[in-house]
A and B are shown apart, each in its own frame.
Chain A
């Protein structure tokens, strides 16, 4: 009798462990991306300063900003929408070719409508790096962006 209880107990524990491992794997496998709006930024920077940082030291800036959540203040230079409805917002100095390019998270598309060219805005997104280009102007690129504040 005692032995049987022990076996049952062990079996029960094993079952719980197996179920929780299974649940963890299932959840982890199906995990979607966190909404950028809910993530605290790692750095808060001004758009033009961020561009300057990358222009002067790309490697160092990559170390500092790459894959980090950045909150960027700047002037809205342009808002474009592609044929599939994805928005892209550029921030920075309108006189310069270089920008901070924010690829907007489509679930936050409605916020983009409130932005206006030439006005100040604060955006949040994940930095994917820097594309230096003499001809087209260099860009710091952010993905999964959301609008934090518009003015």
Chain B
């Protein structure tokens, strides 16, 4: 009898603690859109190989992006993006390290959608700048998805736009992040 109670207690503890502390993906998406308003030419690239980790306990989150992994519809645009703008041979990675400021409001064990504020540092093109944005965290049957949109000023990251294309390339790029995260086992 004692053994059974012990077993029950143990399994109850295990069950309550069974939701993972960390969630991750390696196939997260980051969309880069520098289309100038009014210009018919879409300047848009997507990266589908983004690594993201979220620590449910602390609210810490991290993103790692390989710049060369941005795919543009036009080959020439992709070449210019890599060679002239972000210089991905010199700066192959972009990184975001931050924290969900109101992480205590998110219950990772329960289904729901939460609006969160994310603050952190974005490193791109060798420059690190503070970024703050609103995002959404959705919990659905143990799966966590995270999404956020924010603007970055290209000049903040020392990415210069030649005068010739100044009317086509926006001075600020819209970055959209969307990740479906899985529980990290272990």
Residues of A within 8 A of B (CB): 28-34, 62, 66-67, 80, 82-83, 86, 88, 101, 103, 126, 128-129, 131, 133, 135-136, 139, 141, 143-144
CB pair A143–B69 under 8 Å, yes or no, is yes
B interface secondary structure, majority: strand
* A-B CB contact pairs (8 Å), 10 listed: A31-B74, A32-B74, A66-B92, A67-B68, A129-B66, A131-B64, A139-B51, A141-B66, A143-B69, A143-B71
CB pair A128–B73 under 8 Å, yes or no, is no
A99, closest chain B residue (CB): B26
B residues 60-104 touching A (CB-CB < 8 Å): 64, 66-69, 71, 73-76, 78, 89, 92-93
Cα separation A63 to B66 with both chains bound (whole Å) = 15
Chain A residues with CB below 8 A from B93, complex form: 129, 131
Apart from A33-B71, A131-B66, A133-B64, what are 20 other A-B pairs with CB-CB below 8 Å? A29-B74, A30-B74, A31-B76, A33-B78, A34-B75, A67-B68, A67-B89, A82-B29, A82-B48, A88-B48, A103-B27, A103-B49, A128-B67, A129-B68, A129-B92, A135-B22, A136-B51, A141-B49, A141-B66, A143-B71
Chain A residues with CB below 8 A from B67, complex form: 128
Chain A residues with CB below 8 A from B180, complex form: 82-83
With contacts A129-B66, A129-B93 taken as known, whether A136 is within 8 angstroms of B26 at the C-beta atoms is yes
Cα separation A135 to B76 with both chains bound (whole Å) = 36
Top 10 nearest A-B pairs by Cβ distance?
A: A128-B68, A128-B69, A129-B66, A128-B66, A31-B75, A33-B75, A141-B49, A88-B27, A129-B92, A103-B49
